[in-house]
Structure 1
Amino acid sequence: MIFDKLRGGFLLFIRFLRYLRGHVKFFARSGSFERLINLCAHHRVPLWDCRREEAGYSGRTTVDGYRRMRPLARKAGAVTRVKERHGLPFLLRRYRRRIGVAAGAALFIAFFAVTQQFVWVVEVQGNERVDSQVLLQALEELGVRRGVLKSGLDAREIQLEVQLKVDDLSWAALNIRGTTATLLVRERTVPPQKIDTKVPANVVAARDGQIVSMAVTDGRAAVRKGDAVREGEILVSGVFEDRWGLNHLLRANAKVIARVPESLAVEVPLTQSRAVPSGRVVKRRYLELPGVRLPLFLYSGLDGEYKVEKVTRPPVLLGVEMPFSVTRETYIFYETEEERISAETALRIAERQLAAKERGAWASGAVVKREVSAKTEGGRVVLTGEYLVEMDIARQVEIPVFDRTGQGEKALREGGY
């Protein structure tokens, strides 16, 4: 991959040099083209992109190379002529009497050279949990924004300040290449929530249901497989009695799978509104400069309903992004029509919506029983699903402990169920 990038950069540099020096595309007929190529190689005349055509041969060479090639072509019995001219020398020759064009080109080159000293693109990479806007806002507060002078930025100091401003970062690096400032970040690994195992607790039911299985790791089971339990009922007790009749407290822990009744419902109106394109499309362009947005159109009102498609891209010249962007906004107008659908169509739509709700609510295979009923009322189809879902209903609730050592009942820890 690195070799391919180096090769691509080298070829781009060669094309740039050829553009500066100028080159021509020539056509040769008659004679021996192979001998012409050998003579050019012997006299070090550069040739490239040589190929056979219907009436002869074509190739490319430099301006000086074409002058040196003409006597060699006569030796090979070939007749050559120039088909195309490319490069800066021909461009300057074409506009040599137009001072304004030359001055404009010089100003453009100067403008381009000056703009390369500024940052025009700010981007963030490597973040997943941290919002990109939070990181971009932190960079802006530290002075990294579009249009800032690159020499005024201390990358090391900024990347340290970003880590102090954003708590969820464990590492950050600011790279400034060309006109782009890239913040590379690595997010901090969130440690699991620490549970104080010394605090006694019961395991209670988080939902009503019928117990399917129990896996008790600590505590005394208060119910058995097959029992029906109510929300808040103790499943595993954190209080146990030893053989001498003394009570002890511990933190009960268990996984209790129960079948829990659930229900979902969706409604689909029989009268649907849909957007129909009217055929009217309005396109607008804006020139995006640092802190300024310039419209490149004559303003006119937008009447009616429409949706907007927005694309912002910086122009690219010779593989380099320009220090400004062009935004294209496309307004697609539509009309709203009311459409009456049949009850069968509405039912199919409701079934798809209900299936999507089921996938979002429970894990695959959790539903052990499913009953669906449909009815039409009030101009809509109502689809209702009744389910039995297997889930873990265990929830730890701390046991309140009181101090009775002399100052009445003083709660050491709040809790309970």
Structure 2
Amino acid sequence: MRHLLYRTEGYLRAEIIGAEPERFIRIALREQIRIWNIMRTNETTLTCSIALTDSNALRMMLKESKCRIRILEKNGLPFYLRKLKLRLGITAGLLFFMLLLLILSNMVWSVRIDGADPKLTDQIRNILRQNHLYEGSLDLFVPDTSQLENALSTKLTKVTWIGVSRKGTTYRINVVEKKYPNPKEVSGPRNLVAAKQAVVQRLYVENGQPLVESDQFVKAGQVLVSGKIGSDESFKFVSSRGKVIGETWYRSEAQIPMTNHYTFYTGKDYNRYQLKLWNMTVSLWGFKKQPFKAYDLETVRKPIRFLIWRTPFVLLKQQYRQTKQVTRQLTVAQATRDVIESLEKKLLDHLPEDAKILNTDIDDKKIVRGQLYLRTHQVVHENIAVPKAINVEKEKKKMKKKPQ
């Protein structure tokens, strides 16, 4: 430890030459100048290490002791810095080169996206760019892989699964797109039959023979539009096309609390950056201990790399996101409206696109332990016609068996 202190302050290794070199040692101790490793070379010469001091004081000591000095070595940080100053260009170039290597070692060199079509790939790259991830960006400012996955999953609705992984300076995005089965279209002769029981409201027939009329009750599977046209003596089979709008009915139940507690983000955030070396932490930016009264804290750890090695330095990013809690007390009318809107939306998600809910009637409503319970039924107008293939051979046999 003492040797490290001497090297930091700087010292001289020198020969003290004179009739009484010991006198120089006594004067140095009197002036509280550190001297160590004293060795006698001969009767008039001593070799010792002298702590770096004022040159004028050293000159006065030599004059008083009637000795002279010959410097053998100059050691320590001050002399090393003087050498660097003389070679400033080389030193600056070396430092710049090391800094450049450090930056290049912590850059993102490649972002690979697997399993996505070109359109989805462009969407993913735009979202990643909003989160500071692109070729040439600094990895120190890229969010954690789990945060990237959440950002992508939230904004991409046509994706079943998405994973983000990192290896070295490369990020890989693996995507599994949603694949919907293509509906099997019935080709050739076909009827249009009822998908469910309903009361027929309107018919839009493009091809085929209608077998029902408005305000007629039909059961599931009943033929609405026949693919057989013509008389019994002269007929042919066609592919029926069209829509049959029927009135259908659905029942549903739901409940909702009368008092709701919400926590949401206000949009304000505060970032703190720290540099960590083992158990020591130094704040680089953001010195507030608690920027908000209520907040969510996310910490991202980014190890600093140099070429292929991971250094003991870690950049910590702490993001404070301000939150606010709100309590909403619903009236019976508000709660009823919210439940009906939720039920209708849920029902429409399972109906054809052109389906319409005419009205929703409440069958039962009650409040139990702070919860509003509703039982309702909905009246819907929707297309109930679905195609069903005709077995031509079977139909022809039936026609032959009919009495003439």
Q: Into which bin does the TM-score normalised by the smaller protein fall? A: 0.3 to 0.5
Which of these two proteins has the greater Rg computed from alpha carbons?
Answer: 2
